[in-house]
Copies of this chain bind each other. A is one copy, B any other.
Amino acid sequence: MTQPKTYLDIVKECDNFPYETENPALYSLHLENYYSFKVAGYTEVLGHVPKYIIRAFAFPDGWLVDHERQELILAPALDNSLTESEKAQRRTALMESTLKSMSQTPTRREFLALARKWRNETFPIYSTTTPGKSKIRLLEIERSASALFGILTSGVQLTAYTTDPVTNELKIWIARRSRKKQTYAGMLDSAAAGGLESGMNPLEGVVREAVEEASLGENVVRKGVRCVGALSYYHVMPPSPSSPSLTEPVSDGMKDGEEEVGFLQPEIEYIYELHLDSTTQPKPGDSEVEGFYLWGVEEVKAALLRGEFKLNSAIVVIDFFVRHGVITAENESDYVEIVCRLHRRL
């Protein structure tokens, strides 16, 4: 039996990258193990690639690897006459061919996993140097490589809930993930959730997931869904254990004394709520979900504190509890710390 967690424990497990202001030394120490990922002509750091990945792969023409400054720069030759959109296409093409070539490199299991997990869906990477102005889409990156490059990704999460017609009690629809899923198999989850691919806005994303994963009617969702906030956190994935399905020998490209470090995964989740009437029930619509439970607050809370939720869905439940007055300033001593850490400025 696992020791029950606190809400703050769960938030810290998700937002587990050190804070620069709180512990600058630890923050720097963490970043020493990574190369900054940049695009030529832009100063901002768009992601972080572990050092051992840089060492284990020969980046082709069009990339600059600056070992002095620990920077990996995407710098294909770009004609000045190209439009922003054409430039983005060139960068995207170079990224794609590089990743394809990486996925055929048997020197590390991470590269082989790229091939296995390739989804043919891309995440956009934006320049954010000009706050307030419209963001520039610099390129797109294959979804399964986003963690390898440590880029900021976005997703949507939908909490579906209802009010018990007899007791007036708040009830929440909780999904059980399929036991066959590659990630977080069998764990508890939001009613619907997913990554935000290139070209999709959050509302369209959440409508699609709700229809596909929870079999809810598109009209029901569009009419009732409400955008209620955004969560953001900086997660470090633990170094990947050897995948049981991968038996290839691995020369891991590490130098003596170099530690394997996790992938960085800063993320923004757009949060939606859907109040369903008591006759509407989500049902598994694809192979992602095993089933749905309609639980009261106490049942959800108990499962949450036992660690049964997928991590970034656990913090969605915590945020829902804050918004609905379940976790309050009076009953939770870490209230302010929890609320602030759910909204890390990335």
Contact = CB atoms under 8 A, between A and B. Distances in A.
Given A8-B132, A345-B340, A201 B322 contact: no
Q: Kindly state the interface size class of chain A when it binds its partner.
A: 35 or more
Given A132-B8, A134-B333, A228-B323, A342 B343 contact: yes
B344 A230 contact: no
Contacts of A335: 230
Contact of A201 (B202, B330, B346): B330
B132 A336 contact: no
Nearest to A227: B328
A345 B341 contact: yes
A249 interface: no
How many monomers of this chain does the complex have? Answer: 2
Interface in A292-343: 322-325, 328-330, 333-337, 339-343
B201 A339 contact: no
Contacts of A228: 322-325
A330 B342 CA distance: 21
A217 interface: no
B339 A230 contact: yes
A131 B343 contact: no
Nearest to A196: B329
B323 A229 contact: yes
A325 to B, nearest CB: 4
Given A21-B21, A344-B340, A329 B227 contact: yes
Nearest to A131: B337
A37 interface: no
6 nearest A-B residue pairs (beta carbon): A343-B343, A227-B328, A226-B325, A340-B345, A202-B329, A230-B339
Interface of A: 6, 8, 19-21, 131-132, 134, 201-203, 226-230, 232, 268, 270, 322-325, 328-330, 333-337, 339-346
18 contacts: A8-B132, A20-B21, A21-B21, A132-B333, A132-B334, A201-B330, A203-B328, A203-B329, A227-B325, A227-B329, A228-B322, A229-B339, A230-B329, A230-B335, A230-B340, A268-B336, A340-B344, A340-B345
Given A201-B330, A340-B346, 19 more contacts: A6-B132, A8-B132, A19-B345, A131-B337, A132-B334, A134-B333, A202-B330, A203-B329, A227-B328, A227-B330, A228-B322, A228-B324, A230-B329, A230-B335, A230-B339, A232-B340, A340-B344, A341-B345, A342-B343
